[in-house]
Amino acid sequence: MKIYKIKLILESPCLIGSGEGFGAVIDSDIVFDELGIPYIPAKRIKGCLRDSAIEVCEMFSLAKINLFDLSEEESENNFRIVTYLFGKPGNDQPAPIYFSNLTIEDYPNKVKWLKYLMENYKEIITRHSIINQFTEIRQQTAIDEKTGIAKEHSLRTIRVAKKGLTFIGTIDIEEEREDLIKLLYFACRNLKYLGTKRNRGFGKVKCDISGNLIKEENKFLNELEAICKQ
């Protein structure tokens, strides 16, 4: 098994949607832990990287870049290697890849100190104040295309994670197949957006994968460069 570290930096505010609101105040809220610290669920990052892997396969297929198997299954743009690596609902065998939740940098230490502060300074350090430290409130409204003014009752309030936050997690791969690691590497490098309202300027990210990948990274990039120069 190989374990890689994944780092995700928010280059714009990001709505890591929880699918819920916050009372009558916020229409779309993000995901928090029990203290109020935002995180990215493992299932969410896995889904985003799966979509990114499909994009990579599509680009490589169109460009005739054969770094790994690009054969497709019956359904359109459903590449076998993507299905094998990330799994498919209903499959008997589990996928050989596992993701942790992505948490902010130095998460265990921050949790330790925040719990201490919440216990000893209850009137100052609260879950709400912690949430406010990592997030900001944005409001949006729909515009009537004919009149050019805001539509009635269209105002929406959302809470987003602040630009500049860095999230850290791990990816475990049971099978040390080079083609699977290649696909994962390029999927991470290709991931540019995360979360909802991406067409409104939210969710731009930079994704890096590291660990025991330095030599492999150079090899992958050199191999890609050699193919592109042919």
> HEC states along the chain?
CEEEEEEEEECCCEECECCCCECCCECECECECCCCCECECHHHHHHHHHHHHHHHHHHHHHCCCCCCCCCECCCCCCEHHHHHHHCCCCCCCCCCEEECCEEECCHHHHHHHHHHHHHHCCCCCCHHHHHHHHEEEEEECCECCCCCCECCCCCEEEEEECCCCEEEEEEEECCCCHHHHHHHHHHHHHCCECCECHHHCCCEEEEEEECCCHHHHHHHHHHHHHHHHC
Please report the pLDDT score of residue 197 as a whole number: 73
Q: What is the pLDDT of residue 201?
A: 77
Say what the pLDDT of residue 19 is. Answer: 46
Name the stretches of the chain with pLDDT < 50: 19-24
